[in-house]
Amino acid sequence: MRGPWRLILLLLTVLVLLQMGRMAASQLYDGPGPLPVTSDIFIPPGGTHQVARLLAREKAIGSARLFEIAAFLTRGQGPIRSGDFRFTDHASLRAVLHTLRFAPEIQFKATIPEGLTSARIAAILNALPHATGQVSPPPEGSVLPQTYDYTYGTARAAIVARMQAAMQAALVKEWATRAPGLPVATKRQALILASIVQLETPLAAELPKIAGVYENRLARGMKLQADPTVIYAVTKGAATALPHRVDERDLATASPYNTYRHKGLPPGPICAPGLAAISAVLHPATTDALYFVATGTGGHVFARTFAEQRRNIARYDAVRSKRDAAPGTAPGVK
């Protein structure tokens, strides 16, 4: 009987040791890791050995060797990816491997404000962190201002392409529901006018009425006399503001963009208008106003006649002079 009992005892010992080993392995694989706080770690392209050493240095794992073994044993689940990943505090070895194989990469944001020129947009894009390549200024008005997500290593040219596709999609959608009888005959004309309207007011509620004023002037064959077009002509698209009030010398600038000298729309957009400005042009407010002037506090007052406009200018000139360094104002829409 001694022989069978020895065999049973040996088998029990082996089973106990296997169970203890399984528990130890489970603790190493599923137990809390050493990472003290949730951290974003960039994983460059490379082999498992390089990744293991990096994660060990960042204290995301306790042992590079154990990571390599676990990665090898679970290799059927998928490859270890490169990119920017977020690892939660005390993530287990299993969780770290899951993140590297399946978790989405960290999203970075490229925010383009409304009303910027292409030169300024290109400067913002070229300063984006973690994007690759450089871009030249895109065609004026060709990108839709909003926030775009991108991941580590995204080409800046690809971000521009997305922005341009978004603008085209917005124009098509808004054009399909445009109001009847508009003086803008094409989507490009609508884009050009929207770029002017965008720069005329910081108040979204005013955009449809300002669009209505300009469309009234276009319908009557009047010059737009829009200060933003003069600024674009003076700065050649480098800026949307001058260090002084628009003056007579500025108004005399020889440029097809100067709508004080030329009737109709300028030859192209003067900035990247937002969706609200595009919508305002294609769904303008019903108004008989032909003029407006800034109040000096962010908004505008509107007038039907030039005489009324002159009275408004006189009324608000004092307020505007306190805000601006240069006195006086030029006659016209503003």
Please list the residues that pair with 147 across neighbouring strands.
111
In this prediction, residue 20 carries a pLDDT of 47
Residues (pLDDT < 70) of the chain are 1-3, 5-28, 319-334
Angle at alpha carbon of residue 196, lines to 296 and 165, rounded to 5°: 130
Q: Is the Cα torsion angle 333, 294, 324, 321 positive or negative in sign?
A: positive
- What's the whole-model pTM score? 0.80
In this prediction, residue 330 carries a pLDDT of 44
In this prediction, residue 333 carries a pLDDT of 54
Residue 224 phi/psi, 5-degree rounding, is -70, -35
Judge whether 67 and 55 are in contact, CB under 8 Å: yes
In this prediction, residue 22 carries a pLDDT of 58
How distant, in Å, are the alpha carbons of 100, 125, 141, 202, 320 from that of 112?
31, 9, 12, 16, 29
Sequence ranges of the domains in the chain: 33-105, 108-165, 178-323
State in Å, rounded, how far the first CA of the chain is from the last one. 111
In this prediction, residue 327 carries a pLDDT of 44
In this prediction, residue 328 carries a pLDDT of 44
Three-state SS letters, the chain: CHHHHHHHHHHHHHHHHHHHHHHHHHHHHHCCCCCCCCEEEEECCCCHHHHHHHHHHCCCCCCHHHHHHHHHHCHHHCCCCCEEEEECCCCCHHHHHHHHHHCCCCCEEEECCCCCCHHHHHHHHHCCCCCECCCCCCCCCCCCCCEEEECCCCEHHHHHHHHHHHHHHHHHHHHHCCCCCCCCCCHHHHHHHHHHHHHHCCCHHHHHHHHHHHHHHHHCCCCCCCHHHHHHHHHCCCCCCCCCCCCHHHHCCCCCCCCCCCCCCCCCCCCCCCHHHHHHHHCCCCCCCCEEEECCCCCEEEECCHHHHHHHHHHHHHHHHHHCCCCCCCCCCC
> Which tokens belong to 109?
């944001």
d(CA 127, CA 121): 10
Count of other CB atoms within 10 angstroms of residue 149: 12
> Which tokens belong to 253?
């600038």
Which residues are within 8 A (CB) of 250 and not within 5 positions of it... i.e. 6 or more apart? 230, 231, 234, 242
Judge whether 105 and 156 are in contact, CB under 8 Å: no
CATH 3.20.14 fits 33-105, yes or no: no
> Which tokens belong to 106?
């960290």
> What is the phi-psi region of residue 130: left when phi exceeds 0, alpha when psi lies from -120 to 50, beta otherwise?
left
